[in-house]
């Protein structure tokens, strides 16, 4: 049997002796977060995406929200004490974080950025997010995630 490939995110979790589940999924250019959740057989509310933003102050922030939701830029800015924030451009993501669009994880970025996870994460024993490479997801409890990165939990998604 072929041993599963490990991403840097998985190696970091292993180094901290943190329990996690990992998932792989087929990759193609049309895959979005909801497709990923469906392909790994998980609730899209429990699968989170990692978004990198830049504030008016030029500081960067990370927001981790359910894949089927949209980041509310006003709520997000308020949560980090900024006048405004905007998404980082795709071409700036790799040099800034070490990750490409679609494979960005809150764990293992080149530099740590203030991180906010949406409140619905508390509704689940674990949350699932990118394993740091397209095609890979990891599932970790918030308690265990807090042993690897610092984050706060706030409402930062759009409500209709």
pLDDT in tens, 51-67: 999 999 999 999 999 99
**DSSP of 95-153:** HHHS--TT---SSS-SS--EEEEEGGGGGSS-EEEE-SSTTEEEEE-HHHHTTTS--EE
Residues of the chain with pLDDT > 90, as a percent, come to 87
Question: pLDDT band for position 159 (50/70/90)?
Answer: confident
Phi, psi of 105 (to 5 degrees): -125, 150
Question: pLDDT band for position 32 (50/70/90)?
Answer: confident
Whole-number Å distance between alpha carbons of 41 and 34: 10
Average pLDDT, the chain: 93
Fold of 8-154: YbaK protein (3.90.960)
Residues of the chain with pLDDT > 70, as a percent, come to 96
Question: pLDDT band for position 26 (50/70/90)?
Answer: confident
Whole-number Å distance between alpha carbons of 25 and 134: 9
State the pLDDT at residue 2: 46
Average pLDDT value for residue range 93-110: 95
Q: Sign of torsion, CA 101 103 105 108?
A: negative
For residue 3, give Cα distances in angstroms to 14, 39, 41, 86: 15, 21, 22, 40
pTM of the model: 0.94
């Amino acid at each position: 049997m072929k041993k599963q490939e490990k991403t840097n995110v998985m190696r970091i979790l292993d180094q901290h002796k943190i329990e996690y589940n990992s998932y792989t999924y087929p990759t193609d250019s049309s895959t979005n977060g909801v497709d990923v959740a469906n392909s790994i057989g998980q609730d899209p509310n429990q699968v989170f995406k990692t978004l990198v933003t830049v504030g008016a102050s030029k500081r960067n922030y990370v927001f981790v929200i359910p894949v089927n939701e949209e980041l509310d830029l006003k709520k997000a800015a308020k949560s980090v004490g900024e006048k405004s924030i905007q998404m980082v451009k795709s071409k700036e993501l790799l040099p800034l974080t070490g990750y490409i669009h679609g494979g960005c994880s809150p764990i293992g970025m080149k530099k740590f950025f203030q991180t906010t996870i949406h409140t619905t994460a508390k509704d689940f024993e674990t949350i699932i997010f990118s394993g740091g490479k397209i095609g890979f997801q990891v599932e970790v409890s918030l308690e265990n995630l807090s042993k690897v990165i610092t984050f706060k939990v706030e409402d930062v998604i759009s409500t209709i």
